[in-house]
């Protein structure tokens, strides 16, 4: 390890609570971090005592890009830039003085917070803080020591290989490592909601595949490109994934010809569930994910959701179910999908919207209305037309 070269410390989140399987969660997290950093240069990544160390090997590493990537890995609670040094008070003070010079220049008060993970070290954490703090106070006379509300906190960690000096860490992406929560298929439209619900489930460790329905000529190539772009934006968090594209025109036209208008959306959503489920079974996925939020539109009342779920044979996860539109928009902005979601292309959900949708459907009535169609034949035919795209970061 090159001393005094900046590196990152990634603090684990919920993984720490995992008891006996903790090891497999940690291994998954380390391999996810390695995979994420591959394209930014050569990094050594290893884990000790609930901290992942990320050390650049050589000068050609793109530290800025690597830092951004580390902040997007699910399972990491906080990320800090740090500099390693010898395990002596002199070296720690020297390192803090040079590494944090800019922060000291801007601060009026500071404190030192120490952690001694290496119990062989001769001083305990309080003594380390006192000695380092005293020395730094002499070297930066314009900055006073304030242990309660300092402008700057200098963190010192004494660990096996070295001591580490860093400023406060910033929040990571949180959640659980992708791949530990099983495998699910998410229904991705071009709207605001479905990318956010996909992100929320990925954050719970779920590995995703996407399904998107297209209805040419009613929906355009731009609408499809928009959805692929949303999927690509999500790969920053989820890693690469497959988007299944399923033709939906014939199903929609058949519904329009043979079913009462107030049930259009409901019957259409039941077909989407059947198709997504077929994709999920083939992929070995164990759940479906949708972006529905209770009461947001007519097909998202409790009774309407019941009618849709009646055709599902696996759990349908709806992470946004209790969220407000304002919260969903805030999250979409935060994860970077908002600007793409609001591009104005029609998707198949908006093409055949009934004027007076039924908000309190009776399941029996919907089933009767649907029986005018050759459900199995239409599903089989749509699946034959399925194509897929692998989306990479």
- Confidence (pLDDT) at 345: 82
- Confidence (pLDDT) at 20: 83
pLDDT(2) > 60: no
pLDDT(363) > 60: yes
Q: Shortest CA distance to 85 belongs to which of 140, 167, 6, 139?
A: 6
Domain with CATH 3.40.50.620 in the chain: 183-391
Domain with CATH 3.30.2130.30 in the chain: 7-171
pLDDT(37) > 50: yes
Other CB atoms within 10 A of residue 350 CB = 14
- Confidence (pLDDT) at 110: 98
- As a whole number, mean pLDDT of residues 366-378 equals 97
Please, which pLDDT band fits residue 285 given cuts at 50, 70 and 90?
A: very high
pLDDT(387) > 50: yes
- Confidence (pLDDT) at 1: 45
pLDDT(226) > 90: yes
Within 8 A by CB and 6+ apart from 287, the residues are 182, 184, 185, 206, 280, 314, 315, 316, 317
Residue-by-residue DSSP string for 195-226? HHHHHHHHHBT-EEEEEEEE-TTTS-HHHHHH
Q: What is the pLDDT of residues 136-195, one digit of tens each?
A: 999 999 999 999 999 999 999 999 889 999 999 999 999 999 999 999 999 999 999 999
Task: Tell me the CATH number of domain 183-391, given options 1.20.140.10, 3.40.50.300, 3.50.50.60, 3.40.50.620.
Answer: 3.40.50.620
Q: Shortest CA distance to 393 belongs to which of 231, 242, 235, 229?
A: 235
Within 8 A by CB and 6+ apart from 285, the residues are 182, 183, 184, 185, 209, 279
Query: Under CATH, what is the fold of the domain 7-171?
Result: VC0802-like (3.30.2130)
- As a whole number, mean pLDDT of residues 230-242 equals 95
- Confidence (pLDDT) at 290: 97
Q: Shortest CA distance to 289 belongs to which of 203, 391, 208?
A: 208
pLDDT(88) > 60: yes
Question: Residues of the chain with pLDDT > 70: what percent?
Answer: 98
Structure tokens given for 235: 């790969």
pLDDT(349) > 80: no
Distances (CA, A) of 68 to 62, 90, 126, 380: 10, 32, 33, 43
| 16 or 263: which leads in pLDDT | 263
Q: What is the pLDDT of residues 252-270, one digit of tens each?
A: 999 999 999 999 999 999 9
- As a whole number, mean pLDDT of residues 71-84 equals 97
Question: Residues of the chain with pLDDT > 90: what percent?
Answer: 89
Task: Please check whether residue 176 is in contact with residue 74, taking contact to mean a CB–CB distance below 8 angstroms.
Answer: yes
Average pLDDT, the chain: 95
- As a whole number, mean pLDDT of residues 274-297 equals 97
Please, which pLDDT band fits residue 58 given cuts at 50, 70 and 90?
A: confident
- Confidence (pLDDT) at 169: 95
């Amino acid at each position: 390890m090159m001393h005094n070269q900046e590196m990152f410390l990634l603090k684990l989140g919920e993984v720490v609570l995992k008891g006996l399987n903790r090891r497999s969660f940690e291994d998954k997290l380390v391999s996810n971090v390695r995979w994420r950093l591959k394209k930014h240069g050569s990094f050594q990544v290893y884990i000790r005592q609930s901290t992942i160390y990320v050390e650049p090997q050589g000068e050609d590493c793109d530290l800025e890009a690597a830092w951004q990537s580390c902040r997007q890995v699910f399972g990491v609670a906080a990320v800090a830039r740090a500099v390693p040094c010898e395990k002596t008070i002199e070296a720690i003070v020297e390192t803090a003085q040079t590494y944090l010079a800019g922060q000291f220049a801007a601060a009026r008060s500071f404190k030192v917070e120490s952690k001694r993970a290496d119990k062989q070290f001769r001083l305990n954490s309080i003594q380390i803080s006192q000695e380092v703090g005293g020395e730094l106070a002499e070297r930066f006379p314009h900055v006073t020591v304030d242990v309660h509300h300092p402008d700057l906190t200098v963190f010192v960690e004494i660990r096996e290989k070295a001591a580490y000096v860093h400023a406060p860490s910033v929040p990571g992406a949180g959640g659980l490592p992708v791949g530990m929560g099983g495998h699910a298929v998410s229904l991705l439209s071009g709207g605001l909601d479905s990318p956010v619900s996909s992100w929320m489930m990925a954050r719970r460790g779920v590995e995703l595949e996407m399904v998107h329905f297209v209805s040419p000529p009613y929906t355009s190539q731009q609408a499809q490109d928009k959805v692929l772009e949303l999927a690509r934006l999500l790969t920053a968090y989820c890693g690469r994934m497959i988007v299944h594209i399923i033709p939906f025109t014939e199903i929609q036209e058949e519904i329009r010809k043979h079913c009462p208008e107030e049930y259009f959306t409901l019957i259409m959503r039941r077909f989407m569930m059947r198709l997504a489920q077929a994709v999920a079974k083939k992929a070995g996925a164990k759940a479906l994910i949708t972006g529905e939020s209770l009461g947001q539109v007519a097909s998202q009342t409790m009774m309407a959701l019941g009618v849709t779920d009646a055709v599902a044979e696996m759990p349908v996860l709806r992470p946004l179910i209790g969220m407000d539109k304002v919260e969903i928009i805030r999250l979409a902005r935060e994860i970077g999908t908002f600007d793409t979601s609001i591009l104005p292309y029609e998707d198949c959900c908006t093409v055949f919207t009934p004027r007076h949708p039924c908000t309190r459907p009776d399941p029996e009535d919907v089933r009767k209305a649907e029986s005018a169609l050759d459900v199995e034949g239409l599903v089989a035919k749509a699946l034959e037309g399925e194509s897929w795209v692998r989306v990479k970061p």
